[in-house]
């Protein structure tokens, strides 16, 4: 059991790294034709779809469902909200320099995102 979670965790980190690189490359490509905010929005949305696909097939090896696809972006809403909150608290209350505060945010949001993603794909797998 624990070994399975560790393997999923490693696959989650690897897929997250790949997703980050591919989303960034798409952003850079889109900048050739679009302003930065539309480019970011498209790259971010594509990143969510890629994260769903990688989580489904590679990380948790689950079956696709429209319910999972519809719920998956909510995980990223939680991730963003939690990350922004931790970032704000780190800078404004804990006096962590802005350049380092994002690391505190990542340290909190990555495990939460993993747990929420695992819950979504495992709960649906049990049904």
Distance CA 97, CA 100 (A): 5
What integer is the mean pLDDT of 52-63?
Answer: 96
Q: Which domain holds residue 111?
A: 2-126
pLDDT tens per residue, range 96-110: 999 999 999 999 999
The chain-wide mean pLDDT, for the chain, equals: 94
In this predicted structure, the answer to whether residue 9 has a pLDDT above a threshold of 70 is: yes
In this predicted structure, the answer to whether residue 124 has a pLDDT above a threshold of 90 is: no
What integer is the mean pLDDT of 102-123?
Answer: 95
Query: What's the number of domains the chain is made of?
Result: 1
- The residue with greater pLDDT, 71 or 127, is 71
Distance CA 70, CA 124 (A): 13
pLDDT of residue 3: 79
pLDDT tens per residue, range 40-55: 999 999 999 999 999 9
Residues with Cβ within 8 Å of 40's Cβ and at least 6 positions away in sequence, in order, are: 27
pLDDT of residue 21: 96
pLDDT of residue 125: 53
Name the residue with tokens 């696909």.
53
What integer is the mean pLDDT of 23-32?
Answer: 96
């Amino acid at each position: 059991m624990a070994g399975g979670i560790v393997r999923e965790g490693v696959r989650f980190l690897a897929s997250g790294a790949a997703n980050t690189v591919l989303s960034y490359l798409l952003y850079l490509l889109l900048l050739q034709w679009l302003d930065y905010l539309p480019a970011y929005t498209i790259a971010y949305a594509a990143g969510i779809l890629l994260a769903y696909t990688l989580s489904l097939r590679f990380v948790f090896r689950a079956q696709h469902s429209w319910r999972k696809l519809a719920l998956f972006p909510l995980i990223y809403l939680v991730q963003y909200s939690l990350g922004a909150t931790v970032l704000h608290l780190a800078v404004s209350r804990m006096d962590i320099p802005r350049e380092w505060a994002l690391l505190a945010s990542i340290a909190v949001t990555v495990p939460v995102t993993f747990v929420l993603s695992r819950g979504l794909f495992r709960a649906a797998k049990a049904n």
